[in-house]
């Protein structure tokens, strides 16, 4: 509790103590004994005013100020009218007095307001703690000594020093040192990342083991950590439909209830349907429940909590509207390369034939490709364990589009596709495994083949089954790759549909076609590179692998910091949970209020119940909203 | 120019919304946003009279929400 809240609490406790004393004096007939029959009534009126004013003078003042500025329909105004009205009941000679109720309503209201203020402060604090990934300083070497400076002052190209236990303040490249980095705050991933000389380091990570000297590549304001914080903070400005609904609802609800209160207080007694005091009291009870505070605070708080919770998992949501849209996704469209697969070629099989040693064949192929930078050549060289001795290669010539012909250790080596084999009159065998097949021939006779393919990510299969479990009806893959490759991947991962051999432009068209048949929302998942048009066309664009990639952060609505597709199902679960909480709060708050209004209209609900309907409901809704913040990794 | 200020003691979401509306109506204010949860006011006004605009914003805040203070 802060200072203001403590003072507030003391005031309420004092008022409560006086209130109960007066109540006891009244109940046990002490007042009647001293002041006589009608005198006791006026005495208790005056005495109840004391706790009322102690607890509520600020509310009355605020109400007065608002009236003077022409602002009615404000919470304090309504409370003031309701409680003053309760006290004024004394002027109806034949009615039960309601001073105790008037004072109690004000007290109860203040208790609720204090609790509400406390709960809001508490959730603000946990949001702040969640976003406490911004570094306060950067170490710079000046005249041989380390100086701590404001990260804002560091220029691009400066060398900063990051000691173990410190947070990387600014994005940059390691020029000296090696260490393990804890990226959990950014990606939610608990396995540390290695950083060696020449590696890029991202601000917001924690340096765990060694001292790093880093040459900065960005200004602090443009660094990953600053961008993430800005994004999450501004996310609440892009309002969800539900939030806009609440704003509109609040705008009409209060005036309607206030006029209804006036109608109830005046019309029935005018028509001779009962006594004035009864109906006025019912009207006043109406006023107490007329504030939509429970909704106005708890709904944005739930969204903010959901967005904050998701960011703990390395899922950045750029606005409440996207969180809402994500919760209604029933179709997920994936780009294949880089999203479901690693996007790099790997040797997946080596089939040597005719008694040739597979290792020898691979070594020959690697040497033949020694001078090539083609992705396929690179993958073969990576698969080869040994050292490539360029001296063994006497001659190597690329046969464009077909492969390579080389002379290694005096032997003629051919590495390439069917056409290369055909051109050199070598007969070859095909392979059942899908992928790019490289045949190898040594001295004119077939030695076997090497299969190269893009490998699916470790968690891709899990990602698809998680999505299905989360109620996503269709998982569809789009790829520019050949049909056989796409078919194999789709079957392996359990995808519902795939569309292969698409040109980049076809993807937008394909997504539009799928959009027509989708009942819920459509999410497109890509790596953020080259798929900006598709990302914007989909209801929700998700970019992944965005650690340090500006393009991806720019293009998408939701950004996954690491490149794990399994985070998509997690994001959907967070979105659904948030929306569940939002809907619970709306139904609960409106339901209770309408119920109390109905009961008050027929004279069953009293003012006590009405105060619960106002502040009690608000507090419960806030506590419920705070649940949106807690997310589990699974 | 766009500047962000911390708002102290803004306790009610409805009040924050009202204050935002009131600030937006002030002369010279190009845009204003109050984020109730992060307790921040983003004020946008022309460079040359920013200080004057800020002055009137502070005055208005003292009128509308006397508990709330703009930290400069």
The mean pLDDT of A275-293, rounded to a whole number, is: 83
Most confident listed range (A249-253, A395-399, A595-599): A595-599
The span from the CA of A499 to the CA of A516, in Å, is 16
> To the nearest whole angstrom, how far is the Cα of B69 from the nearest Cα of chain A?
13
Q: What is the pLDDT of residues A65-82, one digit of tens each?
A: 888 877 666 778 888 888
Cα–chain-centroid distance for residue A419? 52
Q: Is the pLDDT of residue A15 over 70?
A: yes
The span from the CA of A516 to the CA of A77, in Å, is 51
Contact check, Cβ <8 Å, B12/A124 = no
- Please give the pLDDT value at position A467: 94
The mean pLDDT of A3-10, rounded to a whole number, is: 88
A145, β-bridge pairs: A142
Tokens of A599: 């009961």
Of the candidates A581, A538, A574, the residue with the CA atom closest to the CA atom of residue A557: A538
CA torsion, points A334, A336, A337, A343, in degrees to nearest 10? Answer: 100
Q: Is the pLDDT of residue B18 over 90?
A: no
Is residue B40 less than 8 Å (CB to CB) from chain A? yes
Hunting for tokens 């005096």 — which residue is that? A410
Contact check, Cβ <8 Å, B37/A293 = no
- Please give the pLDDT value at position A379: 86
Is residue A462 less than 8 Å (CB to CB) from chain B? no
Kindly list the residues from chain A whose CB atom is less than 8 angstroms away from the CB atom of residue B8.
Answer: none
- Please give the pLDDT value at position B70: 83
Contact check, Cβ <8 Å, A69/B64 = yes
Kindly list the residues from chain A whose CB atom is less than 8 angstroms away from the CB atom of residue B40.
Answer: 233
Contact check, Cβ <8 Å, B17/A296 = yes
- Please give the pLDDT value at position A233: 73
Residue A547 pLDDT level (bands cut at 50, 70, 90):
low
Is residue A136 less than 8 Å (CB to CB) from chain B? no
3-state secondary structure at position A71: coil
Task: Look at the alpha carbons of A613, A618, A620, A624 in this order and tell me if their dihedral is positive or negative.
Answer: positive
Task: Look at the alpha carbons of B10, B14, B15, B16 in this order and tell me if their dihedral is positive or negative.
Answer: positive
Q: Is the pLDDT of residue A475 over 60?
A: yes
Greater model confidence, A270 or A90: A270
Kindly list the residues from chain B whose CB atom is less than 8 angstroms away from the CB atom of residue A292.
Answer: 14
Are the C-beta atoms of residues A607 and A282 closer than 8 Å to each other?
Answer: no
Confirm whether A335 is a catalytic residue: yes
Is residue B14 less than 8 Å (CB to CB) from chain A? yes
Strands (E), A422-553: 436-442, 445-456, 474-478, 497-499, 521-526, 540-544
Chain A residue with CA closest to B38: the answer is: A124
| pTM for this predicted structure | 0.78
Kindly list the residues from chain B whose CB atom is less than 8 angstroms away from the CB atom of residue A120.
Answer: 11
Q: Do the interacting molecules here have an ipTM over 0.90?
A: no
Kindly list the residues from chain B whose CB atom is less than 8 angstroms away from the CB atom of residue A309.
Answer: none
The mean pLDDT of A6-31, rounded to a whole number, is: 89
A141, β-bridge pairs: A146
- Please give the pLDDT value at position A227: 80
Average pLDDT, chain B: 84
The mean pLDDT of A470-487, rounded to a whole number, is: 88
Domains in chain A: ranges and CATH: 155-218 (2.70.150.10), 315-337+457-574 (3.40.50.1000), 343-456 (3.40.1110.10)
3-state secondary structure at position A331: strand
Q: What is the pLDDT of residues A192-239, one digit of tens each?
A: 888 899 888 888 888 988 899 999 999 888 888 888 777 777 777 778
Q: Is the pLDDT of residue A515 over 80?
A: yes
Q: DSSP state, A167?
A: B
Domain extent, residue B17, equals 2-71
* CATH number for the domain that contains residue B33: 3.30.70.100
Q: DSSP state, A539?
A: S
- Please state the domain count of chain B: 1
Residue A4 pLDDT level (bands cut at 50, 70, 90):
confident
Greater model confidence, B39 or A16: A16
Q: Of the candidates B12, B38, B64, which has its C-beta nearest A293's C-beta?
A: B12
> To the nearest whole angstrom, how far is the Cα of A297 from the nearest Cα of chain B?
6
């Amino acid at each position: 509790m802060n200072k203001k809240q403590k003072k507030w609490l003391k005031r309420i406790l004092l008022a409560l103590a006086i209130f109960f004393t007066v109540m006891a004096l009244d109940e046990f007939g002490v007042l009647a004994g001293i002041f006589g029959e009608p005198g006791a009534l006026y005495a208790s009126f005056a005495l109840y005013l004391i706790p009322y004013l102690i607890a509520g003078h600020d509310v009355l003042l605020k109400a007065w100020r608002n009236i003077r500025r022409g602002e009615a329909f404000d919470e304090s105004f309504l409370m003031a009218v309701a409680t003053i009205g309760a006290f004024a009941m004394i002027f109806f000679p034949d009615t039960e007095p309601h001073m105790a109720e008037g004072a109690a309503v004000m007290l109860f209201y203040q208790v609720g307001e204090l609790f509400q203020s406390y709960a809001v402060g508490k959730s603000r604090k946990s949001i702040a703690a969640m976003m406490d990934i911004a570094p306060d300083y950067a170490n710079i070497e000046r005249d041989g000594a380390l100086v701590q400076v404001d990260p804002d002052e560091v220029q691009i190209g400066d060398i900063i020093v990051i000691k173990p236990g410190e947070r990387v303040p600014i994005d940059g490249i390691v020029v000296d040192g090696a260490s393990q980095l804890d990226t959990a705050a950014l990606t939610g991933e608990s396995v540390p990342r290695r950083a060696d000389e020449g590696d890029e380091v991202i601000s917001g990570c924690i340096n765990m083991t060694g001292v790093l000297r880093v040459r900065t590549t960005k200004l602090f304001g443009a660094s990953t950590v600053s961008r993430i914080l800005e994004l999450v903070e501004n996310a609440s400005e892009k309002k969800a439909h539900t939030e806009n609904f609440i704003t509109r609802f609040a705008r009409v609800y209060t005036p309607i209830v206030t006029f209804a209160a006036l109608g109830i207080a005046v019309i029935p007694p005018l028509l001779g349907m009962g006594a004035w005091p009864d109906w006025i009291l019912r009207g006043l009870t109406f006023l107490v429940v007329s504030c939509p505070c429970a909704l106005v605070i708890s709904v944005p708080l739930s969204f903010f909590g959901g967005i904050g919770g998701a960011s703990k998992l390395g899922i950045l949501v750029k606005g409440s509207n996207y969180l809402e849209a994500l919760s209604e996704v029933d179709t997920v469209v994936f780009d294949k390369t880089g999203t479901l697969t690693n996007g790099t070629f790997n040797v997946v099989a080596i089939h040597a034939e005719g008694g040739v040693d597979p290792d020898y064949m691979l070594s020959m192929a690697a040497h033949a490709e020694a001078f090539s930078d083609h992705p396929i050549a690179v993958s073969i060289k990576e698969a080869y364990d040994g050292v490539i001795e360029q001296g063994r290669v006497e001659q190597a010539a690329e046969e464009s589009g077909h492969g390579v012909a080389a002379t290694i250790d005096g032997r003629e080596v051919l590495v390439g596709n069917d056409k290369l084999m055909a051109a050199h009159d070598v007969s070859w065998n095909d392979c059942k495994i899908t992928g790019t097949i490289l045949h190898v021939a040594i001295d004119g006779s077939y030695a076997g083949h090497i299969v190269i393919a893009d490998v699916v990510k470790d968690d891709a299969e899990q990602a698809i089954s998680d999505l299905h479990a989360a109620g996503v009806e269709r998982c569809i893959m789009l790829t520019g790759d050949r049909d056989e490759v796409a078919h194999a991947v789709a079957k392996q991962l359990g995808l519902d549909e795939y569309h292969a051999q698409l040109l980049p432009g076809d993807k937008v068209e394909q997504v539009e076609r799928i959009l027509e048949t989708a009942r819920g929302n459509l999410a497109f998942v890509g790596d953020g590179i080259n798929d900006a048009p598709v990302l914007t066309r989909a209801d929700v664009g998700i970019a992944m692998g965005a650690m340090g990639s500006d393009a991806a952060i720019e293009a998408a609505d939701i950004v996954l910091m690491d490149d794990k597709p399994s985070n998509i199902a997690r994001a959907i679960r967070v979105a659904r949970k948030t929306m569940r909480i939002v809907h619970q709060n709306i139904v609960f708050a409106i339901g209770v209020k309408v119920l109390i209004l109905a009961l008050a209209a027929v004279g069953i609900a009293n003012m006590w119940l009405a105060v619960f309907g106002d502040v009690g409901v608000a507090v419960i809704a806030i506590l419920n909203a705070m649940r949106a913040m807690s997310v589990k990794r699974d | 120019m766009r500047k962000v200020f911390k708002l102290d003691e803004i306790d009610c979401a409805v009040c924050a919304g009202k204050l935002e509306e009131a600030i937006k109506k002030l002369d010279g204010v190009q845009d204003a946003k109050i984020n109730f949860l992060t307790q921040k006011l983003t004020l946008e006004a022309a460079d040359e009279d920013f200080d004057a605009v800020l002055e009137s914003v502070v005055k208005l805040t003292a009128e509308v929400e006397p508990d709330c203070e703009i930290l400069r």
